Amino acid sequence: MKHLFLISSAINAKHGIYTPRERFVQTLETCLSIKKYCPNSDMILLDGGIREMGDGHKDYFFQNGVKNIVSFVNDRDIKEIQRSTNHDIVKNVIEVLMYKTFYENVDHYNGTFDYGRVFKISGRYKLNENFDVSQHEDAAGKIVIRGPFTSQFPEYVTGGVKFQYMSRLWSFDSSLLPYVRDLYGAILSKMTERREHQGYIDIEHCLYDLLSKNFVNEVSKIGVEGHIAPNGMEVSE
C-alpha cells in the first residue's frame, strides 16, 4: 500500500534568510529525497506563502512526483496571520491551519484516500540515509515521532508544558486520520489560549502535551535533515 507525504511549504515567505528561489530548490530537494528513500509514496504540497508560486515552479513539482498542490495563499485566516510580525507565530499557526483544513476536507483534496501511512514533513527538509520506512510501517495503529526533548521555554510561557516532540518529520497510521484531524483543532485552540494569556506555545510543545501516549512510538532518530530558515543552522534528526 502507498504512503502519503504531506509537505508544508511557503515558497514565497516574508521571514527567514532564504530567497523564494532558494526555498523552491530546497523544497524540490524534499521531493527528490522522498522519491529516493520512500519511492512508493504520493506527495501533496500545502503552500501557505504570502503569494502564489509561479507556474514554472508548480510544473517542476508536478514533474518530480507531486500529485497535488493545495494553495492556502488566499485563505482569509491565513492572510490574517501573515500580518503578524512574529515569525514563530506566522510559521506555527499557518502550518496548523493548513493541516487542519486539509484533514477536515481530505475527500475534496484526495477522493481515494487509500494510504497505509501519512507522513508530515516540513518543506525545505529532506529525508536522508537514516530514514527507515519500516520503522513507520511496523507501527500499526501508531504515531511515530522523535522525542521527547526538554523545553527551551520557561514553564510560565508554555502554560506548564515541559517537553516537546520534534515535528519536522512524523507519521501516523492512516486509521488515525480522524484522531489527527481533531488533534490539529486542539493545537490551534491551545495556541490561541496561550496568546490570550500573554504566553506562547509552538507545534512541538503542543504535540507532546496533546498526543495520547497510547498512540505514540517515540524514536531517537527519524532520518531528516535541513537548515532552519531564520539563521540557516543545519539540523539532522
pLDDT in tens, 80-130: 888 888 878 888 999 999 999 999 998 877 767 889 999 999 999 999 999
Report the candidate in 177, 172, 158, 164 with the shortest Cα–Cα distance to residue 208.
164
* 90 three-class SS: helix
Please give the model's pTM, rounded to 2 decimal places. Answer: 0.94
- Report pLDDT for 232: 75
pLDDT at 156 over 80: yes
pLDDT at 47 over 90: yes
Buried b (16+ CB within 10 A) or exposed e, 4-27: bbbbbbbbbbebbebebeebbebb
- Report pLDDT for 170: 98
Buried b (16+ CB within 10 A) or exposed e, 150-171: ebebeeebbbebeebbbbbbbb
- Report pLDDT for 116: 93
Q: Which long-range contacts (CB under 8 A, 24 or more apart) does 84-88 make?
A: 87/15, 87/16, 87/230, 88/200, 88/202
- Report pLDDT for 107: 81
The helix or strand, by DSSP H or E, that contains position 63, with its residue range, turns out to be helix 55-63
- d(CA 23, CA 71) in angstroms, rounded, equals 16
Contact between 199 and 159 under an 8 Å Cβ cutoff? The reply is: yes
Which residues are CB-contacts of 191 (< 8 A; sequence separation ≥ 6)?
92, 93, 96, 201, 202, 206
- Report pLDDT for 56: 94
- Report pLDDT for 108: 79
Task: List, for residues 216-237, the tens digit of each pLDDT value.
Answer: 999 999 999 999 877 778 999 9
Overall size of the chain counted in residues: 237
The percent of residues in the chain predicted with pLDDT above 70, rounded, is 100
C-alpha cell at 198: 500573554
- d(CA 108, CA 122) in angstroms, rounded, equals 22
Which residues are CB-contacts of 229 (< 8 A; sequence separation ≥ 6)?
13, 15, 16, 17, 18, 91, 124
Average pLDDT score over residue span 162-189: 97
